[in-house]
Amino acid sequence: MSASNSQKHFVLVHGAGHGAWCWYKIKPRLESAGHKVTALDNAASGIDTKSLEDVHSLEEYSEPLLQFIGSLGPQEKVILVGHSLGGMNLSVAMEKFPEKISAAVFLAAFLPDTTHHPWYIVDQFMQKLPLDRWLDTQFGQFGEEPFASFHFGPKFLATSLYQLSPIEDIELAKSLVRKSSFFREQVCKMKNLSNEGYGSVTRVYAVCEKDMVITKEFQHWMIQNSGVKDVVEIKGADHMPMFSKPQELSNSLLEIAHKYT
């Protein structure tokens, strides 16, 4: 399909520990509907060659996304889709390139606001998910902080993140998930996001009904705290809707694209 007003460009941003690979069911569905799709690896994620120790900030972690958006032509706009921790990547890109983003979809994702510090949302989440709920996740030191890096364990993946997903996708994740971080030490030094940047972009939240990690209740709390243009709910989806409900997720993204871009 040639580029036209009806063709949209989706940019898919994965969550912690994952990579562009996690969108393998979504990318062909959106492309078959006639759209352009770019799935990116964040730094030290997926097949990116950096190690986590080479990444020192949320901005550095987001560098592949920032470079990609910065390379777009003057008239090009994209629909950003950020999953889980990917909401923080989206916030950095929205703050820097608001004019390049026609809509931002937060998929069971951290949703910062412009009133509080960017770490506020993650801090609230951490208070509601104590260490024992992380099961066999391996924690390590990152910079000066203990417990600041993490590597999801197979039990946590299977019973908390992927509990409604096909067993084949759980096995895929066990093989491919990498160590990650919230970059707390650096995020705590960031300035508040601005209404002129981040706050000026159309935001849509996609709630995952059966999420056991970023729970439905916490997702709705973030929505009330930050405010968004619209909310959609993916019924029966665990934290990984690209695996547990790929068709429903694809349909929701297509509807959002039609409505807001």
Task: Answer yes or no: 160 catalytic.
Answer: no
List the alpha helices (DSSP H) in the chain: 26-32, 58-61, 63-70, 86-96, 119-128, 154-156, 167-176, 184-187, 216-226, 241-244, 246-260
Task: Answer yes or no: 113 catalytic.
Answer: no
Could you say which of 62, 84, 180, 226 is catalytic? 84
Task: Answer yes or no: 102 catalytic.
Answer: no
Q: How far apart are CA 112 and CA 225, in angstroms?
A: 9
Could you say which of 18, 35, 83, 239 is catalytic? 239
Q: How far apart are CA 185 and CA 44, in angstroms?
A: 18
* Contact predicate 170/157, CB 8 Å: yes
Q: Which residues are tagged catalytic?
A: 84, 211, 239
